Amino acid sequence: MKEEFGVLTIWDQGNKKTYPTYTCGHCSNVVVMRPDRTRERTKCIQCGRTICEQTEICATHCTPLPELARDHMEAKGEWKKYVPAIMAGVDKKDEALSMGLILL
C-alpha cells in the first residue's frame, strides 16, 4: 500500500509555509513531520501503515480505521475491537475497558 503525505499550510500576511503531514493508520491523528527527525517512523507490521506513537492502543493493536470505514465495519471483531475507544478519544486499554468501550 502506497502512503502519501498530507500538507499543512500556514499563511500570514503574504508569507506562506507548508509542512508535510501523515495520518495515523490506527487512530487518524495527524502528525506534522519535523524535517530534522532522524529516527524512522513506526509502521504497523500488520496493516503496513505509519502510526502516530502517541497512544497505547495505537501502539499495541492494529485497528485499520480507513479500511474498516470503507468496508462499513464488516470486518471481523478482532480488527474493530478498539474502534469505540478510538472514536471516544480514549488512549489507554485499561481506561477503555473500564468505560466499556471494547467490543468483545
Which residues of the chain form contacts with other proteins (CB under 8 A)? 1, 3-14, 21-23, 28-30, 54, 65-66, 68-70, 72-74, 80, 83-84, 86-91, 103
Please, which residue, 2 or 37, has the CB nearer to other proteins? 2
Minimum Å gap between C-beta 45 and other proteins is: 19
Please, which residue, 40 or 74, has the CB nearer to other proteins? 74
Minimum Å gap between C-beta 93 and other proteins is: 15
Enumerate the H helices of 14-89 as residue ranges. 56-60, 65-70, 77-80, 83-87
Q: Which three three-digit cell numbers place residue 93?
A: 486499554
Please, which residue, 13 or 38, has the CB nearer to other proteins? 13
Q: How far apart are the two ends of the chain, measured CA to CA in Å?
A: 29
Q: Which three three-digit cell numbers place residue 43?
A: 509502521
For residues 90 and 84, the answer to whether their CB atoms sit within 8 Å is no
CA gap 66, 27 in Å, rounded: 9
Minimum Å gap between C-beta 37 and other proteins is: 19
